Structure 1
Amino acid sequence: MNGFWYIVQVYTGHEKKIQFNLERRLASDSDSDKELREEILQINVPMSTTVKNEDGKRKERTSPTYPGYVLVNCLHEIGPHVDNGIGQRSWAFIQETPGVMNFLGNANPTPLTSEDLERMLHSSTVEEAPMPEITYSVGDKVRVIEGPFSSFTAEILGIDMQRQRLSLSISIFGRSTPLELGFLGVERL
């Protein structure tokens, strides 16, 4: 990878917005920013995708791998104390962007090593959320802990591991009534 990569601390939850703002400011038509466009090579927010299985539906959620941080790639070293003028201007340009709190290293930002950079850029893999451990079996008696039948006693009629649901039978006014709940909606008696 070319240049020097820095970690910029930003407001958590605003990583993509700050990336957009930095890129938009760099893309402005101003000739004075031409030098900055050549200096700031890339702005990156590493993202991770987590896959959950909720109510029998596969749901993917994408979020920043490192909440509150944005990676910035610059051609030269930057900071308020570097000898080259463009490094000082780049540092000030990034620092003045709304939502940016500081560089990692404050006034003396330290560039990432190539090993750290590689690990951070390629850690945005798909993670499968762990399935809850189920210790129930068909015929077990359980107590419902959520919904309108909370505190009722039920018998497990079936277990759907894929959808993470239990088929239950509840006795209401002496009649058996079927009910389906998620694994976390019951507790063992």
Structure 2
Amino acid sequence: MSAQDTVAPEEAAASDEIVEAPLEESSEEVADVAPLEESTGVDPESLKMDWYILKVQSNREKSICDGLQRRVAVAGLDEFFGDILVPTEDVAEFKNGKRRVVKRKLYPGYIVVHMAINDDTWFLVRETPGIGDFTGAAGKPTPMLQHEVERIVKSVRPDDDGAEPIKTAIPFKVGDRVRIKERTFENFEGDVEEIDEANGRVTVLINIFGRSTPVELEHWQIEAV
């Protein structure tokens, strides 16, 4: 089945710990699926397969993905399905002075599937425990846009030369009120204006002599107010 980082001076000296954080805690049994009585005899290369997004129960994406894969196999519908994935990206987190790389879901509460739509495949997907529905309009599944597909494929099968740098997980969002912990503007308060996960930096808008002034900082140089 087929799929960044400015380190604080204090943290750079800390040991790096690369781990893969578990995406799931729960498992799920697969409901009985009746296999097809005989092979469809369809040439897989003649099938029109597209990528679709499925709404699933939050925090159970991986187990639901695995359950769907098993149901496809039991029903003998493998030729109508390609990849069934929980799209993720690698991000760096800092905890207790250690840097670790973890998997972060690109679309929490969703999984993606490469498949050909027909009555059998549509019914199998819809009847899989934990799956809500296809995303789309008027009850009709809508294929993903090409740039969305490319992002997913790149996250699953990155090129050796073209892999993106690992992002830094920054625990702030635009609009958050924060306080600068060090450097020239220590103890100044301001609002987060921009976040650069690729480089682990945050732009904070502070008031200097009555003027709103953007200041670029490392994410570890600020704290929530």
TM-score under structure 1 length normalisation: 0.57
Give per-residue Cα distances to partners, 1:111-153, cap 9 Å, x unaligned. 123232112333576311349954169xxxx9xxxxxxxxxxx
* Aligned partner of 1:135 among 182, 185, 188: 182
- Residue matched to 2:148: 116
Is the partner of 2:141 in helix, strand or coil? coil
- Residue matched to 2:72: 26
**Counterpart residue identity of residue 46, structure 1:** P
Contact 1:15 1:64 in 2 (8 A): no
* Distance (Å, rounded) in 2 between the aligned partners of 1:71 and 1:131: 27
Equivalent residues in 2 for 1:78-157 (5 A)?
A: 78=117, 87-105=118-136, 107-122=139-154, 126-130=166-170, 134-135=181-182
Please report the RMSD computed on the Cα atoms of aligned residues, expressed in angstroms. 3.3
* Aligned partner of 1:43 among 69, 80, 84: 84
Deviation at 1:44, TM superposition (A): 1.2
Aligned residues: 130
Structure 1 window deviating more from structure 2 (108-117 vs 119-128): it is 119-128
Task: Check 1:115–1:136 CA distance in 2 against 1; reply closer, same or farther (3 A cut).
Answer: closer
Give per-residue Cα distances to partners, 1:73-122, cap 9 Å, x unaligned. 11x3x2xxxxxxxx111111001100101100162001123232112333
Question: What runs of 5+ residues in structure 2 fail to find an aligned partner?
Answer: 3-47, 157-163, 173-179, 188-219
- Residue matched to 1:71: 112
* Distance (Å, rounded) in 2 between the aligned partners of 1:24 and 1:123: 23
**Counterpart residue identity of residue 116, structure 1:** E
Give per-residue Cα distances to partners, 1:31-83, cap 9 Å, x unaligned. xx22x211012201111222112221112221311101111111x3x2xxxxx
* Identical pairs, percent: 30
Is the partner of 1:72 in helix, strand or coil? strand
**Counterpart residue identity of residue 147, structure 2:** E
Equivalent residues in 2 for 1:151-170 (5 A)?
A: none
Higher-Rg structure is 1
